[in-house]
Amino acid sequence: MQKFERLEGLVAPMDRANVDTDLIIPKQFLKSIKRTGFGVNLFDELRYLDEGQPGQDVSQRPLNPDFVLNQPRYQGAKVLLARRNFGCGSSREHAPWALEDFGFRVVIAPSFADIFYNNAFKNGILLITLGEDQVDRLFAEVHANEGYCLDVDLEHQRVTTPSGEILEFEVDAFRKHCLLEGLDDIGITLQDEDAIAAFESRHRAARPWLFREPAKA
Amino acid sequence: MAGQTLYDKLWQQHLVKERDDGTALIYIDRQLLHEVTSPQAFEGLRIAGRQPWRLDANLATPDHNVPTTVKERAEGNTGIKDPVSLIQVQTLDDNCDAFGIEEFRINDPRQGIVHVVGPEQGATLPGMTVVCGDSHTATHGAFAALAHGIGTSEVEHVLATQCLLAQKMKNMQVRVEGTLGQGVTAKDVVLAIIGEIGTAGGTGYAIEFAGSAIQSLTMEGRMTVCNMAIEAGARVGLIAVDDTTIDYLAGRPFAPTAEQWEAAVADWRQLVSDADAAFDKVVTIAAESIEPQVSWGTSPEMVTGVSGEVPDPAQAADDTARTGITRALEYMGLAPRQKITDIRLDKVFIGSCTNSRIEDLREAAKVARGRKVADSVQLAMVVPGSGLVKRQAEQEGLDKVFIEAGFEWREPGCSMCLAMNADKLGAGEHCASTSNRNFEGRQGYGGRTHLVSPAMAAAAAIAGHFVDVRSFDSTTARQEA
Ligand code: SF4
């Protein structure tokens, strides 16, 4: 996993609530058996005027000029500003893969859906939850100022606006640690291999029916 | 000390280790795998040179990409015409072969939607932890199993370690008390709950569904309710064990037998919330207040009773809600205050892990029997949740009822629930669907989904627009056979 320490990045606004994972990456792109290459299809239905297909050359497709990520002023954005319940819907990890592949490393919103929250952190994306008022204000500032950047500092858990205002945020210690160090969860868990094996044998003894092989058909 | 909730008990029984920061390792008893969210997990194992921790905890079946037409299905994997879908299904077969994981392949009679297959096989048991790279894993909570939908990195983590890194959720109880009206089903109950608490209402919670109306549901109905916990924002939905649960499991292939059965049942009887357990939040709904539901918008919380109307954005509570309603109405091609029963349908889909079990098909068939699908409806399809559901339905003659009424009778799979295979809506088409998500484009680019129960979907197919199933039976004559 890619480390995340600190980032100063251009902010793009996604001004709608309940952005679901189908919208982040439509299902036809879930057919890939790879983890990469989803960035060109991020928000596919909003970004292009036609219906996209996997493996298609996107340079030939008509862009929706009204969609925010197509506007010149937001090219190269690394921070996505969003509304409540971002990432709701399916558990597809393709959603954070697409965000990351597109270049977003941070999403700021008043709330996130649970599974998406987990998936994003496992892919090196920092999700920052701020109050509705703070998010409202950021939207206003982004709209008003072309080239609006935020300085995101994970170590100190704060976001600094161009005017020097500091917004503090919460993040749980384990996720923070993994992100700062770029650590792989599996490796960390396997350090507890003995504890898992010991638990498993107690569990098997107490509830053997949970370990049954199926009856032969 | 206050008693424990069902969720607390399940958590406690699987806790391997708790870290100081509140993250915990919980042991996973069952992992269900399908073709869409597993390839990258297997690839991850290979790259790292790791082996699955415990093979017999895993069970796989392809479901999302499989064709549902009889002709294509007869050809097995080669019947999958989309080359990208084909690779995904083949990759699952290859991975299961290579690692030694049990798989019900495309034409195995036990193949089906993972969330139908697990319970049907008894592979989901009370007191288990169940995971799957699919958010509707919440379904299995109907058996008092702690079931989480997970992402692909987590699929890999569970394969490699048999554990999931998790944080304890808060406890919510949703009580539905009283008696459901005739024609009101489990689907209406859960849609009404989502309409009440919203799609983020359960975020951070494990929801236990309780109350007399929930207890009165069959296992199929309970699975429908838990299935959509995720649409209420909760990763986990739960229902306590009772006789209904135990009766359903007896004799299933993976269920215990003989003395083990007795011991298991005694253990399962404990899987209820203690009378003095404390919940962080309790929501109570009167069963009598629930009428058949129809979603009108692009989020499952945008739902109302069949006698209601589409909302007027002018009456919205705040700006975000107003923009949301306006956008939804525009996408759905509906006018403010339009009557629900005036919405005309182009397609009807009866299926998905929410409503493709035998009881769902029976309810739809009851409405369809002796009637005809309206000419204005281009396609009405019934897609059983598994090969075994299909076989059972055929033994009961339900396939004939549907076919005579003008429905297509298909092979099992996810089908038009998310349209990863050839079953899709065209742009602008309205569909009465028994699935669980009405997001933009979910059932096909530009498609317009209305979530309903199987009986409501069947009635809509016949009328050509939404109708109240409760009055439908007496007002619409059946044709003589
Ligand atoms: S039926 Fe639909 S919701 Fe259920 S697993 Fe398949 S695609 Fe997902």
**Predicted confidence (pLDDT) per residue in A164-203, tens digit:** 999 999 999 989 999 999 888 898 899 999 999 999 999 9
How far is A156 from chain B, CA to nearest CA, in Å?
17
CB contact residues (below 8 A), chain B span 255-294, against chain A: 255-257, 260-261, 263-264, 267
Q: What is the tens place of the pLDDT at every residue in B24-83?
A: 999 999 999 999 999 999 998 998 889 999 999 999 999 999 999 999 999 999 999 998
pLDDT category at B2 given cuts 50, 70, 90 is: confident
Instruction: Find, among B158, B354, B235, B436, the residue nearest to A116 by Cα.
Output: B235
User: Which residue is closest in CA terms to ligand 1's atom 4?
Assistant: B353
Percent of chain B with pLDDT over 90: 92
**Does pLDDT of B431 surpass 60?**
yes
Give the mean model confidence (pLDDT) for residues B267-286.
98
Phi, psi of B439 (to 5 degrees): -60, 155
The pLDDT score that the predictor gives to residue B400 is 98
Closest protein CA for atom 1 of ligand 1:
B352
Q: Does the model's ipTM exceed the 0.85 cut?
A: yes
Give the H/E segment covering residue B263. Answer: helix B258-268
Kindly state the average pLDDT of the residues B397-409: 98
pLDDT in the model for residue B320: 85
Rounded to the nearest angstrom, the distance between the alpha carbon of B79 and the centre of ligand 1 is 21
Instruction: Answer whether B134 sits within 8 Å of A90, measured CB to CB.
Output: yes
Tell me the shortest Cα–Cα distance from B476 to chain A, in angstroms. 37
Between A94-102 and A114-121, two packed helices, what is the crossing angle to 10 degrees? Answer: 50
| Digit-coded pLDDT (tens) for B355-364 | 999 999 999 9
| pLDDT attached to residue A217 | 47
Nearest CA of chain A to the CA of B369: how many Å? Answer: 34
Q: Confirm if B214 and A176 have CB atoms less than 8 A apart.
A: no
With a CB cutoff of 8 Å and minimum separation 6, the contacts of B297 are B303, B324, B325, B328, B329, B332, B438
User: How large is the average pLDDT for residues B467-481?
Assistant: 77
Distance in angstroms (rounded) separating the CA atoms of residues B435 and B442: 10
Q: What is the pLDDT of residue B474?
A: 63
Please give the mean pLDDT across all residues of chain A: 93
Per-residue confidence (pLDDT) for residue B481, from 0 to 100? 47
A31 touches chain B (CB under 8 A): yes
Does residue B1 carry a pLDDT above 70?
no
Please tell me if the CB atom of residue B418 comes closer than 6 angstroms to any atom of ligand 1.
Answer: yes
What's the helix, strand, coil split of chain A in %, to 5?
Answer: 40, 15, 45
- Cα(A70)–Cα(B288) distance, rounded to whole angstroms? 50
- Choosing from B63, B135, B190 the residue with most ligand 1 atoms within 8 A of its CB, the one to mutate for a pocket test is B63
Report the pLDDT averaged over residues B171-194: 98
Res. A212 pLDDT band, cuts 50 70 90:
confident
Strands A79-81 and A6-13 come out as: parallel
CB contact under 8 A, A27 and B419: yes
A:161-200 residues touching chain B, CB 8 A cutoff: 172-174, 185-186, 189-190, 192-193, 195-196, 199-200
Q: Average pLDDT of A41-56?
A: 93
> Closest partner residue to B152 among A20, A93, A190, by Cβ?
A93
Q: Is B17 on the interface with A (CB under 8 A)?
A: yes
Rounded CA gap, B294 and B296, in Å? 6
Contacts with B18 (C-beta within 8 Å, 6 or more apart), sequence order = B24, B25
How confident is the model at residue B270, as a pLDDT? 97
Look up residue B479 and give its two tokens: 């044709």
Task: Write out the H or E segment, with its range, that includes residue A205.
Answer: helix A193-206
Query: For all residues of chain B together, what is the average pLDDT?
Result: 95
- The shortest CB-CB distance from A199 to any of B22, B27, B127 is to B27
**Cβ-defined contact of A31 to B200 (cutoff 8 Å):** no
Best CA proximity match to B9, nearest among B284, B281, B267: B267
Can you give the pLDDT at residue A213? Answer: 72
Q: How confident is the model at residue A216 (pLDDT cuts 50, 70, 90)?
A: low
The pLDDT value given to residue B185: 98
Contact list in B for residue A213 (CB cut-off 8 A) is 56
* Chain-chain contact of B85 with A31 (C-beta, under 8 angstroms): yes
Residue B455's pLDDT band, with cuts at 50, 70 and 90, is very high
B353 pocket-lining for ligand 1 (C-beta < 6 Å): yes
Query: What pLDDT does A97 receive?
Result: 94
At residue B398, the pLDDT reads 98
Percent of chain A whose predicted confidence (pLDDT) is above 90: 80
Other Cβ atoms closer than 10 A to A75: 11
| Mean pLDDT of all residues in B142-161 | 96
Q: What is the pLDDT of residue B20?
A: 80
| Cα B128 from Cα B10, distance rounded (Å) | 8
Q: Which atom of ligand 1 is nearest to the CA of B114?
A: 5
Is the CB of residue A118 less than 8 Å from the CB of residue A54? no
Q: Do A43 and A67 form a contact (C-beta atoms < 8 A)?
A: yes
- Say whether residue B67 is in contact with chain A using an 8 A CB cutoff: no
Q: Among B230, B352, B421, B424, which is best to mutate for testing ligand 1, by the most ligand atoms less than 8 A from CB?
A: B352
The whole-number pLDDT of residue B288 equals 98
The stretch B5-30 carries a mean pLDDT of 94
Give the pLDDT band of residue B22 (cuts 50, 70, 90): confident
Residue B224 scores a pLDDT above 50: yes
Closest residue in A to B204 (Cα–Cα)? A114
Task: Please write down the long-range contacts of B248-252, taking CB distance under 8 Å and 24 or more positions apart.
Answer: B248/B119, B248/B219, B249/B122, B249/B125, B249/B126, B249/B143, B252/B120, B252/B121, B252/B122
The answer to whether A150 and A208 are in contact (CB under 8 A) is no
Q: Which of A84, A119, A199 sits opposite B151 (nearest CB)?
A: A119
Pocket of ligand 1 contains residue B224 by CB under 6 Å: no
Q: What is the pLDDT of residues A113-130, one digit of tens each?
A: 999 999 999 999 999 999
Asked if B426 has any chain A CB less than 8 Å from its own CB, the reply is no
Give A215's pLDDT tier (boundaries 50, 70, 90).
Answer: low
Amino acid letter, B269: R
CB neighbours of B93 closer than 8 A, spacing ≥ 6?
A: B62, B77, B103, B105
Give the residue-averaged pLDDT of A68-89: 96
Match 């994972």 to its residue by tokens.
A21
Alpha carbon distance B101, B103 (integer Å)? 6
Q: Which residues 105-164 on chain A approach chain B with CB closer than 8 angstroms?
A: 111, 113-115, 118-119, 122-123
Q: How sure is the predictor about A32, in pLDDT bands with cuts at 50, 70 and 90?
A: confident
B162 CB within 6 A, ligand 1: no
